[in-house]
Amino acid sequence: MLSHTLSKQADGERFGADHYVATSDPTVLKDLRKSFDLIISTVSADLPLDRYLATLRLDGAMVFVGLPPDAQTFRVGSLVGGRRSLAGSNIGGIRETQEMLDFCAEHGIGAEIEMIGADDVDTAYERVVASDVRYRFVIDTATI
């Protein structure tokens, strides 16, 4: 698991991560060159793409499911040198969502959430802006 800091390492390991590294250490991505077949970026943050692309093996792919705020830049050589690719996905349709839920149910995978009431939405938003969120907020619809 790649994370900016080690603050969620215990959680990552509890969720089944075999390895957990902090990318804030500038040597980490260099040490991981050609290590991965796939990177799924779930963050909505700007990343040094050339450094991440270098961690992909031949024919590796980096897929964005998070939406960084700014235009992302990279050297084309970071892709063509290793036949790497970049892709993105927002959300699947009903069929894909059902497949994901079935897979999770079959493998005992659940979500870590923080349940909030409708009155707490503004506070939750402030926490998101302040990067004070460990997991997704879910609004208890009974409070609406």
Going from N- to C-terminal start, the domains of the chain cover: 2-88, 94-143
pLDDT of residue 26: 80
Q: Where are the alpha helices (DSSP H) in the chain?
A: 9-14, 28-31, 49-53, 77-80, 94-106, 121-129
- pLDDT per residue rounded down to tens, the chain (144 residues): 898 888 889 988 988 889 999 998 889 999 999 999 999 998 888 999 999 999 999 999 999 998 888 999 999 999 999 999 999 988 778 998 899 899 999 998 888 899 999 999 999 999 988 878 888 899 999 999
Residue with tokens 């969120």: 133
Question: Can you identify the CATH homologous superfamily of domain 2-88?
Answer: NAD(P)-binding Rossmann-like Domain (3.40.50.720)
- Give residue 56's pLDDT: 98
What's this model's pTM, rounded to 2 decimal places? 0.76
CB-CB contact of 110 with 104 (8 Å): yes
